[in-house]
Chain A
Amino acid sequence: MNTVTRAHLAETIFTQVGLSRNESAELLETVLTRMSAVLENGESVKISGFGTFSVRQKGRRIGRNPKTGVEVPILPRRVLVFRPSQVLKAHVNHMTPPIGDDGDDE
């Protein structure tokens, strides 16, 4: 299966927007860095038509080593969750996206 990477995305910006290759790559990096910083602060990032990245607080629970069956405490932690918008879900299924949905749905 093909994998799209930073290089592909930067190339798309270069060909479709006309920025230099260098600047295309830099801007892509800035977008990712900025999103990461916001998420690190525990704030969510809502990209309309794409989806929402949010941080969820998980409480302490008892886990188990599946191999040995030994109980191990799983400490409270914060995890990143992504909720795809209806538009993205529709695209992935090759269906027409619902009208009026901008991806900020809850």
Chain B
Amino acid sequence: MTKSELIGELSAANAHLSNRDVEIIVGTIFSEITAALARGERVELRGFGAFTVKRRDARTGRNPRTGEAVPVDEKAVPFFKAGKELRERVNKGKPSRSAKTAPVNTAPVNTAPVKTA
């Protein structure tokens, strides 16, 4: 799902709001999270997850093509940790297209003969 699909769904479900209104609302949510992270703050949405900023120290990297050493400055990276509820839901959710593993817990249940009334 993309941002525009999300906006489309929300405006379909909220007839009193125009598509443009919903676009501004959704935009406000993500730009406010961005602004908070830029201020070095943490954004915690219980049940969903938390956005934080992690610091990475300066290091000497290498140009993978030439093998040449290049200094990499210290930097900040945005980080998201899924909340407990979302993490569990994702793990128990319906198998994705790429899921090749057999579903767990499909042990044969004691199938009682169907009663024919």
Contacts and interface: CB of A to CB of B under 8 A. Distances in A.
A80 B24 contact: no
Contacts of A91: 34-35, 37-38
Contacts of B26: 31
Interface residues of B, number: 57
A75 B105 CA distance: 12
A12 B32 contact: yes
B54 to A, nearest CB: 10
A36 B42 CA distance: 20
Contact of B78 (A5, A6, A19, A88): A88
Given A27-B25, A80-B86, A92 B6 contact: no
Interface string A67-100: 0000000011111101010011101111000000
A69 B61 CA distance: 33
Contact of A42 (B13, B82, B93): B93
B interface, by DSSP: helix, strand, loop or mixed?
A: mixed
B45 A32 contact: yes
Interface string A15-31: 01101000010011011
Interface in B27-56: 28-30, 32-49, 53
- Interface of A, secondary structure class, is mixed
Contact of B94 (A35, A42, A82): A42
B65 interface: no
Contacts of B35: 91
Given A34-B9, A79-B87, A50 B30 contact: yes
B6 A3 contact: no
Given A4-B42, A75-B104, A9 B32 contact: yes
Interface of A: 1-6, 8-9, 12-13, 16-17, 19, 24, 27-28, 30-32, 34-36, 38-51, 53, 55, 57, 59, 75-80, 82, 84, 87-89, 91-94, 104
Interface of B: 1-3, 6, 9-10, 13-14, 21-22, 24-26, 28-30, 32-49, 53, 75-80, 82, 86-87, 89-91, 93-101, 104
